[in-house]
Amino acid sequence: MPAQDSTTLVREGKRVYLANCAVCHGESGDGEGPGAAQLAVKPRDLRTGTFKFRSTPSGSLPRNEDLEATLVHGVRGTGMVSQRHLSQAERQAVIAYLKTFSDRFATEQPQASVQVSAPPPLTSAVIARGRRIYEKAQCAECHGEGGRGDGPSAPTMKDDRGLPIAVPDFTRWPLKRAYEPQALFMTIATGLSGTPMPSYSDALEPDEIWALVRYLESLAPPHHRRSLGQQLMPGDETIGHKIEEDARRASKSQ
């Protein structure tokens, strides 16, 4: 892309960012915007260049499509609400701008996406195998015996900023990112950067990860599953919607 086009894109991205993102992520990207104080799950500090939801291996930067997926889907149950109202051009622009917050994007290239193999059929044998892998991989230490996020180490889990982390309850779907099984495969394979959740791509073969995913799916009874259109559940953080609405209203009145 010519330099002029890149500058224009970043300038447009800044406009989109200030209108839609800065209220929580802050004008400098430090995650300390005026809305941040109201959120239980604190906004990402974009200056670190560390992103949880990637398709790339542990330690790698995310690809543009990873960042766009988070913009489109949001992070369910947190203040990071879907930014579907942005056009694709606006999304590309804001991605270009948010990448200016961290030097990592200037000096490193994101690695190739981890390949998600074809899922195995959902059988009781696969689920039973997944249960054994859950035990072998010591998932219960954080996620609990029943997958409810209540393992012995769960209460003290922290992210890189020292902020407490809520370990997900696998009996309620969709999860923060995992609105489909392939996304959960990706989380297990790539880990969640900046958190205690490691990548299991060295420890587990793809068919083992799939068995684990199938087991975790089996923990959610049908009435706990929600479609993407029904994102809010009891305990979810709803303030993100209100913050966003207030910011839009304020921006229109100016």
Interface residues toward another protein, by CB under 8 A: 58-59, 136-138, 141-142, 152-153, 156-160, 191-200, 202-204
CB of 124 to another protein, least distance (A): 24
Decide whether 136 or 224 has the Cβ nearer to another protein: 136
Least distance to another protein, CB of residue 103, Å: 16
Could you give the angle at the alpha carbon of 77 between the alpha carbons of 116 and 140, nearest 5°? 60
Token reading at 94? 């804001």
CA geometry: angle 197, 199, 201, nearest 5 deg: 155
Q: Are 95 and 13 spatial neighbours (Cβ–Cβ below 8 Å)?
A: yes
Shortest reach from residue 167's CB to another protein, in Å: 12
Contact status, residue 91 vs residue 98, Cβ threshold 8 Å: no
Q: How far is the CB of 123 from another protein (least distance, A)?
A: 24
Closest to another protein by CB, 56 or 70: 56
CB of 79 to another protein, least distance (A): 22
CA 181/CA 37 separation, integer angstroms: 33
State how far Cα 14 lies from the chain centre. Answer: 22
Closer CB to another protein, 158 or 224, in the complex = 158
Q: Is the dihedral of CA 247, 249, 250, 251 positive or negative?
A: positive
- Residue closest to 243 by CA, chosen among 27, 24, 17: 24
* Residue placing its CB nearer to another protein in the complex, 111 or 195: 195
Whose Cβ is closer to another protein: residue 4's or residue 109's? 109
